[in-house]
Amino acid sequence: MTTAISKIPPRLTAGDEGLHAPPPEAADRLFADTVWLSAHDPATGIWGISQMHIATNRGYGRFQSLFWIDGVGQMYTGKQIGGLEYGQTHWSDGAMRYEVLEPFESVRLSLDNARFAFDLTYTARHPAFDYDDCVGGSPLDGLKPAAGVHGGHYEQAMQATGTFEIRGGPKAGDVRRIDTIAHRDHTWSDRFSGSAPWEYPAGKSGALHYWLVLQFPERNINVTGFYDLSALGIHRPVDQVGGFESTVAGTRPVVSCVADPGGPPPLGPEGFERFRIGFSDVEVITVRATHTEAIAKLRMLGEDDTESRLNDYERFCSLVIEETGEEGHGVLEHSTLPPEPRWLV
């Protein structure tokens, strides 16, 4: 008789699917839960992600969905004012709605928008991974000074199923069935609560981080690491790499990740497209992007709705593991400073 593997990491509880109260040291700072979900289904011509930044202690949430439909980019952004409580497991701005159906097992995400709409259920493929279980601890201290108090962060391989309706353009009226491997994450922190510099050093720029979402039929891989921003006068830890691989049997930690070939970190939207990833059992694999569908830029805001805090680029792409030939798809994300444009007015 086999024993079912829990989808919930040991230090987390079902309550961590909901909205978190800030710890005492961040009580007077912008503190928010951020949720991200992918929805790439190459067979249907649909590539996209959705992200929500829910700041309960400020009484608002920000929503965005960025989709490429048959190669054409379409965006939605919205904002919820009020109606938020700590512990809540559902939220909506009136058009986009997120709901936890069963903690660490399934969530529902829907959007009713003028140009496109969807109704997707995300069901767990594998156990979730708590970033506090990274070898050496969570690398997310590398977000300083953008986030001084990092409450928690977990990620999970999912299966996204449902419908996607096209409401504009030459295929208006099409309703396509989505059934694809997917990924989600949930973070709670005081990200972007600190003030940005009055001005950034003239003529200088730097790469901040990379985040890899690598989805394959039999396994899911996620990696986070940071770059050196000392050229911009920002000094913080950058040598910690974290992440995991998950399968139906459980998870194993990532201990290293390097871009191949190496060289200076990327300062434009494209970023690196090939990475060598090492695991805690010494295996190393090489993951490469074989096709890029689009490069999206996330809206990354602090207290001020008009100030972009960094450039955050996401490459939506098809992938291959070179050593095994496994094919999949996912996101290669990286960020840079200073933000361009800084002011969204």
Q: Determine the average pLDDT of the residues in 338-343.
A: 96
Confidence category of residue 1, pLDDT binned at 50, 70, 90: very low
Q: Structure tokens of 14? A: 């079902």
Which residue, among 195, 151, 192, 189, has the nearest Cα to 32 in the 3D structure?
189
Q: Locate 98 and state its tokens.
A: 């997120």
Asked if 189 and 150 count as a contact pair (C-beta separation under 8 A), the reply is: yes
pLDDT digits (tens, 9 = 90+) for 157-214: 999 999 999 999 999 999 999 999 999 999 999 989 988 899 999 999 999 999 999 9
Asked whether the predicted pLDDT for residue 296 surpasses 90, the reply is: yes
Q: What is the mean pLDDT of residues 78-91?
A: 98
Which pLDDT band, with edges at 50, 70 and 90, does 233 fall under?
Answer: confident
Which pLDDT band holds residue 145 (cuts at 50, 70, 90)?
A: low
Cβ–Cβ < 8 Å for 184, 170: no
pLDDT in tens, 7-45: 999 999 999 999 999 999 999 999 999 999 999 999 999
45 exposure class (CB count in 10 Å sphere: 0-12, 13-18, 19+): middle
Q: What is the pLDDT of residue 150?
A: 83
Q: Which pLDDT does position 22 carry in this prediction? A: 96
Comparison of pLDDT for 14 and 229, the residue scoring more = 14
For residue 148, what pLDDT band results from cuts at 50, 70 and 90?
A: confident
Residue 144: pLDDT over 70: no
The helix, strand and coil proportions of the chain, stated in percent and rounded to the nearest 5, come to 5, 50, 40
Domains with residue ranges and CATH for the chain: 31-193+202-337 (2.40.370.10)
Q: Rounded to a whole number, what is the distance in angstroms from the first to the last CA of the chain?
A: 62
| CA-based radius of gyration for the chain | 19
- Residue type at 301 in one-letter notation: L
As a whole number of angstroms, the distance between CA 259 and CA 74 comes to 30
Q: Give percent of the chain with pLDDT exceeding 90.
A: 84
Mean pLDDT throughout 205-227?
95
324 has pLDDT over 90: yes
Average confidence score pLDDT of the chain: 94
pLDDT at 237 over 80: no
Within 8 A by CB and 6+ apart from 234, the residues are 145, 206, 337
Q: What is the pLDDT of residues 66-82, one digit of tens each?
A: 999 999 999 999 999 99
The confidence score (pLDDT) of residue 143 equals 67
Per-residue CA distances from 184 to 14, 108, 140, 160, 216 (Å):
16, 12, 17, 10, 14
SS3 string, 89-119, reads CEEECCCEEEEEEECCCEEEEEEECCCEEEE
Beta bridge partners of 49: 38, 66
What pLDDT shows up at residue 238?
80
The yes-or-no verdict on residue 317 having pLDDT over 90 is: yes
